[in-house]
């Protein structure tokens, strides 16, 4: 698809109106019987002039929210999303309804098509502009938007804004600067940030980075009760190799009377081929998908799976965003994921048709070490960071690209430079424009002291990344209800026993509740299993169970910890959140 403006039958803008008119548009132009409650809950504050962060599950009609709201708010609607395929899908959807024109702007857009898009923004004939964040950093695009301010600015897959999220994209982090540029022109649009999964910490970071701290936050239900949650402990690789084809065959019989559609997630690109061969040896047809493939190969493998030609896909975490196949019956993690966030996102690809589905984690303790290695962020050297600061001070107001070769020679490759600059900007030691011009700040302070501050910040981030993997261990080994454990992480309500996880079925949940009832803290009705607590030094966590006089808590930042109940009560360390 090219990036030209796509005209649909109706090209008439409406004056700002209320929710009743949006309901009418949904029926008349999109063929809806009615808006869903969650759609109305997001559209209403937008129409009232508020920014909104909406946490909505896939299939909740997120695109319809901005397509309808954008018509009545006035000005164009800019939609930032990370993948061209997602943008093209949205334009095709817009073309299929009686909605105003839409365009996709990307690196393949020709100069003539780009000119037509900018003309559409200028004369008001273009309603929806879909683009990746990189496009917003280009001078002409930003200038066109400043000259013709959008009424609504949509950040799709908004978790990409936060480095605490499960799919951080540095270019997304700079969207806050775009908002500042538009606001500086006296034309700040309303902001709608959309994502399917975000923990409370990620939500806070999204709002902070986008400069929308006073936004209305709407969180829909995270629970997918049709997905049965399971985990099996594997002492060695041989156990995993035996269990995987066996469990796939069992799920095929349970859900489809034979073969059925599923996803196997692995940690490395090499493992996709290894596991595919294992499945083929057991007469199971599968294809593979990972980020190291060419785009053509990825598209082909995804098409084979999505069309049903091949029932099983073995993939790394690269397979996921933009994938919406309704009849996936199971998701199996052959290797442990790097976080609860990613796990929740990936298992959510099962059972999107509302029919019964399953999510199985094959947990092997040794796999945690591999995941920690794969997930380890860049390690920075304080002396080299200080040298970078000194070099920037010698060349103030110089574009980063002009200094890149010298800077990389100073600090090293592997993303170290970009990470150091991100942290220097975070602590206010430099200021960087969208064009990449860098201006040093805090110039009277010792560069070594600032460098130590940068390294300390990065070390905290490294510790946090490690703690996310420890949270997976906590989930795999818990005796509590698995659904409650997952939902509590996202600060969502859950029953004490869901009845749709292995722990509830085999009685471990009841046993954990019995042990908890005998614990000193629970006798005072203080910290029920599954409750969210706040520790004075360790922060937010989820009570997972009790053993003797100790309470086990899965912390958002520090991972799983065992704490003396008596000591915590005496020092008043823990409070219910």
Asked if 386 and 351 sit in the same domain, the reply is: no
Residue 154 clears pLDDT 90, i.e. is over it: yes
Q: Which residues contact 204 (CB under 8 A, 6 or more apart)?
A: none
H or E, element range at 195: strand 190-195
CB 496 within 8 A of CB 510: no
Q: What element of type H or E holds 145?
A: helix 139-147
pLDDT single digits (tens) 471-482: 899 899 988 899
- What integer pLDDT is reported at residue 515 of this predicted model? 59
Size of the chain, expressed as the number of residues it contains:
577
Q: pLDDT tens-digit profile of 99-120?
A: 888 989 888 888 898 999 999 9
Which sign, positive or negative, has the C-alpha torsion 247, 248, 254, 255?
positive
The CATH number of the domain holding residue 527 is 2.40.10
> Which of 219, 243, 268 is at the close of a domain?
219
> What's the pLDDT score for residue 226?
94
Query: What is the DSSP code string of 489-525?
Result: HTT----S--SSBHHHHTTHHHHHHHHHHHSHHHHTT
Categorize the per-residue pLDDT at 527 as very low, low, confident or very high, splitting at 50, 70 and 90. confident
Domain containing residue 29? 19-219
Q: Are residues 346 and 428 in the same domain?
A: no
Closest among 7, 19, 194 to 97, alpha carbons compared: 7
pLDDT surpassing 90 at residue 83 = no
Lowest model confidence (mean pLDDT) among 42-56, 233-247, 367-381, 501-515: 501-515
pTM: 0.83
Q: For 427-440, b where at least 16 C-beta lie within 10 A, e where not — what string?
A: eebbebeeeeebeb
Q: Where are the alpha helices (DSSP H) in 148-257?
A: 170-173, 175-184, 200-210, 237-256
Q: Is residue 297 part of a domain?
A: yes
Shared domain check, 186 and 51? yes
φ, ψ (nearest 5 deg) of residue 218: -120, 125
Are residue 417 and residue 548 in the same domain, yes or no?
Answer: no
Here the tokens at position 23 are 């309901």
Cβ–Cβ < 8 Å for 562, 552: yes
Q: Give the per-residue pLDDT at 1.
A: 38
| Rounded Cα gap, residues 12 and 179, in angstroms | 27
200 and 245 belong to one structural domain = no
Whether 107 and 247 share a structural domain: no
Q: What's the chain's average pLDDT?
A: 86
Q: Is residue 497 part of a domain?
A: no
| Residue 214, C-beta contacts closer than 8 angstroms, at least 6 positions apart | 50, 51
**Are 98 and 207 within one domain?**
yes
Count of domains for the chain? 4
**Contact (Cβ atoms closer than 8 angstroms) between residue 117 and residue 126:** yes
H/E run at residue 553: strand 550-555
Together in a domain, 192 and 212:
yes
CA distance 415 to 408: 9
Q: What is the CATH number of the domain that holds 32?
A: 3.40.50.300
Same domain, 194 and 236: no
User: Both 106 and 86 in a single domain?
Assistant: yes
pLDDT of residue 11: 37
| pLDDT band, residue 165 (cuts 50/70/90) | low
153 torsion bin: left (phi>0), alpha (psi -120 to 50), beta (else): beta
- Is 172 in the same domain as 64? yes
Kindly calculate the radius of gyration of the chain based on its CA atoms and give it in whole angstroms: 25
Question: In this model, does residue 25 exceed pLDDT 90?
Answer: no
- Bridge-based pairing state of the strands 152-155 and 190-195: parallel
User: Which residues lie below 8 Å from residue 568, measured CB to CB, with a gap of 6+?
Assistant: 521, 535, 551, 574
Using alpha carbons, list the distances in angstroms from residue 451 to 24, 270, 282, 307, 386: 57, 37, 55, 52, 5
pLDDT at 15: 39
CA distances for 79 relative to 232, 394, 511, angstroms = 41, 39, 49
């Amino acid at each position: 698809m090219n990036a030209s403006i796509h005209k649909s039958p109706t090209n008439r803008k409406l004056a700002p109106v209320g929710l009743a008119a949006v309901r009418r548009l949904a029926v008349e132009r999109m063929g809806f019987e009615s808006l869903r409650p969650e759609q109305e809950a997001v559209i209403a504050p937008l129409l009232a002039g508020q920014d909104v962060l909406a946490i909505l599950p896939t299939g909740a009609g997120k695109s319809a929210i901005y397509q309808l709201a954008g018509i009545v708010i006035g000005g164009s609607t800019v939609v930032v999303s990370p993948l061209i395929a997602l943008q093209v899908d949205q334009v095709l959807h817009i073309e299929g309804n009686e909605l105003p024109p839409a365009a996709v702007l990307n690196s393949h857009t020709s100069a003539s098509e780009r000119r037509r898009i900018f003309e559409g923004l200028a004369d008001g004939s273009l309603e929806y502009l879909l683009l990746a964040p990189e496009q917003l950093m280009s001078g002409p695009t930003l200038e066109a938007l400043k000259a013709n301010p959008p009424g609504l600015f949509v950040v799709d897959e908004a978790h990409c804004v936060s480095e605490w999220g499960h799919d951080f994209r540095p270019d997304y982090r700079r969207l806050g600067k775009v908002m500042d540029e538009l606001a500086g022109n006296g034309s700040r649009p309303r902001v709608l940030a959309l994502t399917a999964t975000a923990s409370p910490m990620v939500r806070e970071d999204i709002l902070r980075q986008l400069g929308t701290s006073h936004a209305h936050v709407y969180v829909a239900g995270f629970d997918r009760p049709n997905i049965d949650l399971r985990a099996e402990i594997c002492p060695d690789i041989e156990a995993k190799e035996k269990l995987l084809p066996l469990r796939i065959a069992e799920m095929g019989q349970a859900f489809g009377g034979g073969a059925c559609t599923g996803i196997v997630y692995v940690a490395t690109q090499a493992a996709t081929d290894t596991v595919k061969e294992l499945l083929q040896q057991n007469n199971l047809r599968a294809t593979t998908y990972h980020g190291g493939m060419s785009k053509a190969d990825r598209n082909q493998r995804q098409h084979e799976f999505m069309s049903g030609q091949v029932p099983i896909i073995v993939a790394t975490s690269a397979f996921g965003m933009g994938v919406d196949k309704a009849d996936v019956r199971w998701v199996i993690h052959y290797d442990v994921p790097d976080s609860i966030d990613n796990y929740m996102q990936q298992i959510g690809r099962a059972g999107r048709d509302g029919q019964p589905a399953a999510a199985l984690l094959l947990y092997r303790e040794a796999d945690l070490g591999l995941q920690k290695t794969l997930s380890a962020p860049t390690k920075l050297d304080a002396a080299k960071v200080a040298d970078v600061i000194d070099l920037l001070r010698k060349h103030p107001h110089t574009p980063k690209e002009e200094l890149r070769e010298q800077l990389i020679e100073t600090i090293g490759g592997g993303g170290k430079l970009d990470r150091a600059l991100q942290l220097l900007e975070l602590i206010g030691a430099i200021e960087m424009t969208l064009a990449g011009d860098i201006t040093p700040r805090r110039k009277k302070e010792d560069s070594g002291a600032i460098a130590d501050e940068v390294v300390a910040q990065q070390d905290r981030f490294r510790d946090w990344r490690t703690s996310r993997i420890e949270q997976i261990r906590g989930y795999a080994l818990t005796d509590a209800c698995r659904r409650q454990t997952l939902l509590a992480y996202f600060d969502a309500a859950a029953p004490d026993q869901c009845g749709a996880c292995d722990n509830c079925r085999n009685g471990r949940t009841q046993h954990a509740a019995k042990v908890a009832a005998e614990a000193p803290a629970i006798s005072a009705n203080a910290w029920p299993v599954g409750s969210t607590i706040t520790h004075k030094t360790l922060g937010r966590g989820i009570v997972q169970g009790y053993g003797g006089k100790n309470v086990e808590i899965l912390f958002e930042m520090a991972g799983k910890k065992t704490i003396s109940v008596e000591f915590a009560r005496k020092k008043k360390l823990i409070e219910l959140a």
